[in-house]
Amino acid sequence: MISVSNVSMRYGAKVLFDEVSTAFTPGKRYGLTGPNGAGKSTFMKILTGEMEPQKGTVVRPRKLGVLSQDQFAFDAYRVIDTVIMGNKRLWAALEERDHIYEKPEMSDEDGMKLGELEGIVGEEDGYTAESDAAVLLQGLDIPDEAHERKMSELQGGQKVRVLLAQALFGHPQALLLDEPTNNLDLDSIHWLQGFLNQYDGVVIVISHDRHFLNSVCTHIADIDYETIITYTGTYDDMVVAKTQIRSQIESQNAQREKKISQLNEFIARFAAGTRSSQVQSRRKEVERLQVTELARSNIQRPYIKFEQKRPSGKHILDVEGLSKTYGEKEVIKTFKASLLRGEKIALMGRNGAGKTTLVNALLANSPTVPETELRKTSGYDGAFLDSGKVIWGHEGSVGYFAQDHKSLIQPGMTVFEWLHQWDLSASHEEVRGLLGQMLFAREDGNKMTDVLSGGEAARVIFCKLMLQKPNVLVLDEPTNHLDLESINALNIALQRYQGTVLLVTHDHDLIDEVATRIWHFETDHRITDFKGSYEEYQTVHA
């Protein structure tokens, strides 16, 4: 169990949480939720012991599994060793044992120490450590041939999966996972869901993936109103309960305020008269009926609405025999498809399967996305298409959200200046209104683009797309830096959008609720083109 007693954290005048006492018990899986800036990562660091609270105490089990956020900390180690290092007691024993064996001669003291160390290795399942670590890595799609490689040789997405295996290794009594689904494809996310649902310790997870939270969590610990309230059930259950509780308190307050007003009116009329005992009793009643003070919620909801300046032609895109290789590595093999106006296509498949490669090939031939933008975001200087044709239809106008979207925002400008250049005919108030919709305060328009965070850069790109009003949206991993409120706003906006959508995402709900067609990237470099929803696709390919 992890217990928290009277914990408080504040930064200057900003209170994150005050006098929080709660407990996280084994067998339960908690989602730690709250808007960006509410203090989720800070609270997680307090739970792991990485950060001390300004007030209060935390009691935690001896063995914690923590997802490391530093992708470069283990670059010098083998992948398999990095995973085993998740069990600190075992790893320390193995290192000390190896050090003793390396000695040219061993003393009696060394022999006794070896016996002690072998006992620890046995207690911690050290004799099956490599095979246990390999099972975790295979589940997270790290192939056997990569297990002996150095961490420095892996790509960022693979490193994250190894660090996730590290957190899961060694049967920890509690798992503390901050954004574990970042850089995971859907297959890996589904594997992780299954693993966590079978885990019998405490799980505390921060995630912006609503479907993941609903699939895994038995409880939600929500950071808001300067405290942490734990709700029983999934994320969606919490949203309903939280809304009901808030509405109930507001309704009770309204009734109390009405009653207090009536009592004060009586007191004002008869305070100087002969009915002093009745006045006094009503004053006591006013004190008893004091309105419950409602702390202000941290939640802010952006408003996203994608419109079209003009619709495209009926046939918006034809792809004929598209193929692409990198050196000897085949990525896409003779893909053929035809898109009609208004279709919403989800591009799905394992990381590295070729989704962004296909997006780049389509955009390299688009009417409105400069090839220089693609080279900025991809860092690729070769041809985006080896063979085949990409033909965009009449009146096609493409809006693009790149996976590396921040590289598309020119430095050395204010946010307002950068955004306004995309439609000089737009009034200043229209541009500032869009920024306001995406939760930028008025003064934020004067912020320099160089200092934007990943989440702020994503929201600025959405402002650009709303300003441009394209009839085709190509979105490559648009949810990576968004909180749950922003992802829900994007989901609703895409459902309502009348234009065509090409969407690369690992967000299950976004695919499920937006897509009308699936392009699934297979392991043989072919793409399955399924005309129907994700639910229908799963039924057919079960």
Return the pLDDT at 351.
Answer: 81
Return the pLDDT at 17.
Answer: 87
DSSP string, 450-488: GG--HHHHHHHHHHHHHHH--SEEEEESTTTT--HHHHH
d(CA 494, CA 477): 14
The CATH fold assigned to 315-540 is Rossmann fold (3.40.50)
Confidence of residue 98 (pLDDT cuts 50, 70, 90): confident
d(CA 514, CA 516): 7
Are 149 and 176 spatial neighbours (Cβ–Cβ below 8 Å)? Answer: no
Return the pLDDT at 240.
Answer: 86
Judged against a pLDDT cut of 70, whether residue 494 lies above it is answered with: yes
d(CA 345, CA 347): 6
Q: Considering the entire predicted model, what is its pTM?
A: 0.77
Which has the minimum average pLDDT: 63-72, 353-362, 415-424?
A: 63-72
Phi, psi of 75 (to 5 degrees): -55, -30
3-state SS of 80-124 is HHHHHCCCHHHHHHHHHHHHHHCCCCCCHHHHHHHHHHHHHHHHC
Question: pLDDT for 433-447, tens place per residue?
Answer: 999 999 898 899 999
Return the pLDDT at 298.
Answer: 61
Question: pLDDT for 140-193, tens place per residue?
Answer: 889 999 999 999 998 777 888 899 899 989 888 999 998 888 878 888 888 889
* Maximum Cα–Cα distance across the chain: 105
Would you tell me how many other CB atoms lie within 10 Å of the CB of residue 201?
20
Q: Return mean pLDDT, the chain.
A: 88
Question: pLDDT for 197-226, tens place per residue?
Answer: 988 899 999 998 999 999 999 999 998 878
Amino acid identity of 28?
A: K
